[in-house]
Chain A
Amino acid sequence: MIKIFTIVQKELCAYFKSPIACIVLVVTVSVFNIFFYMIIDQNREATLRDVFQVMEFMFVFLVPLFTMRVFAEEKSTGTMEFLMTTPTSNTAIVVGKYLGSFLFFSLIVSTTLVYYLVIEYFGHPDRAATATGILGLWLEGGLFVAVGVLASSWTRSQVIAAISSYAILFSLYFSITFSKYVSAPAQEFLQYFSTMTHAANFSVGVVAPGDVVYYLSGIFCCLFLARISVENRLWR
């Protein structure tokens, strides 16, 4: 639909005009550069596996910082009232907003291509593993962004939106570390539940359908819930 595109465009413009997003972008890229240098300097290996792991960890903290505004800002400034009284379906609003944030996130991920070029120049990296690693990072970030969008649809306060996304992302990401304290079936569940398990497969070059399904269904689930929340004005 054309309207989704219109909203995506507006969201992307909003990111580049807002100081927060630009700061996030600059800080992220510089921090990644430092880690890239440190990791490569330490390992002396032409692989991005550890770099990806650090990035994955950083995204847990970073993504909520730029997704918190997605709905919360519109609600606090009253533009939500405009958006929801134009003939635009709730699905188009949610999907458009998600894609806008996801594209912005993709921009951050695309900086890793430079790292790939660097190691390609100096060594012989495993190309397939690097490609799937980036794909995994990208899918995982897609899920993080969806969680951020969902949390933002619940409240008119950006701070509350950020805190609730942290709560969800932490439990998603770190659930694997709790798995040793619970019984076997729950352990399996926690392992499956954790995004870390799935990203690990990608970083060694394995693209299992199960992992892709995990991420895509997670994204779908979050967007579906966000749509319900927008439709029923649950933030009041």
Chain B
Amino acid sequence: MIVAQNLTKNFGKVEALKDISFEIGRGEIVGFLGKNGAGKTTLMRILASYLSPTSGKVLIAGKDIARHSLFARRNIGYLPETPPLYTNMTVREYLKFAARLKDIPPARLRPSVDKVMDDCRLRYVQNRLIANLSKGYKQRIGIAQAIINDPEILILDEPTSGLDPVQIQQVRKLMKDIEYKRTVLLSTHILSEIEQTARRILIVNRGKIIVDQSVKGLLGQYPGLTLEDIFLELNPPQAERADD
């Protein structure tokens, strides 16, 4: 479903990604782990075709996203690291705007918006201005716009940051519901979350993929250790550098 080939990304002198390649099949749920500044957000931005890589390419369903950008964007729901919200709109206005930009036909606008508001528990605030909502609600609106058109692929950058435990459970349930039907890539700093939702782990460190394994396989490789121990082992704190 998603193939990344030799991706590199430089921001001036900073090498954010260094020759990253991987393949993700249909229906997989993949968790991206890595320290702050490892390159997770940059990688997701490239996959969502917001940034173009310095070199290398990405194929979505066999098509190069550099040339079939609209096709790729139609099939990807993307939640950026900071939820991209127009604070002067109400929740309903915003979701409607998102639905229209995502090619949902006019007749289905209302049902789609209603459905996604139910899924993300936004009904109660539907007519409030986004500017006045709490962080968790903003995050939920971000998730709602990503899933509103039922895309084949979901790319979620720290989807559960700022959510309360009930909502985190809800997001996990959502992942479970769409498992095997949709391809999901998520990044997070909550390791237990990866253990519960993802089937496969990619650990990124300084722009390189250092682990690409199933969760079970990784845990089996280091018997007796938790995911957190393994993560700390692979990303020793003394390796912290100024450019991280």
Asked whether any CB of chain A lies closer than 8 Å to the CB of B80, the reply is: yes
Contacts of A10 in B (CB 8 A): 86, 97
Asked whether any CB of chain B lies closer than 8 Å to the CB of A88, the reply is: yes
- SS of B interface (majority): loop
Contact B84 A78 (CB under 8 A): yes
Contacts of B87 in A (CB 8 A): 77
Contacts of A77 in B (CB 8 A): 84-87
- SS of A interface (majority): helix
Interface-lining segment among A79-87, A104-112, A150-158: A79-87
Smallest Cβ-Cβ distance to B88: which chain A residue: A17
**Interface size class for chain B?**
20 to 34
Min C-beta distance of B48 to chain A, whole Å: 5
Contact A86 B73 (CB under 8 A): yes
Question: Per-position contact with A for B81-93: 1 when CB-CB < 8 Å, else 0?
Answer: 0111111110001
Rounded to whole angstroms, the CA-CA distance of A88 and B72 in the bound complex is 11
Min C-beta distance of B130 to chain A, whole Å: 11
Contact A86 B80 (CB under 8 A): no
Contact B50 A78 (CB under 8 A): no
Contact B70 A85 (CB under 8 A): no
Rounded to whole angstroms, the CA-CA distance of A83 and B48 in the bound complex is 12
Contact B76 A85 (CB under 8 A): yes
24 A-B pairs with C-beta separation under 8 A: A3-B100, A3-B101, A6-B101, A10-B86, A10-B97, A13-B88, A17-B88, A18-B88, A77-B84, A77-B85, A78-B83, A79-B84, A79-B86, A80-B84, A81-B50, A81-B80, A83-B101, A84-B50, A85-B48, A85-B80, A86-B101, A87-B73, A233-B51, A233-B52
Given contacts A13-B88, A17-B88, 17 further A-B contacts (CB under 8 A): A3-B100, A6-B101, A10-B86, A79-B85, A79-B86, A81-B45, A81-B50, A81-B78, A81-B80, A82-B78, A82-B80, A82-B98, A83-B84, A85-B73, A86-B73, A86-B101, A87-B101
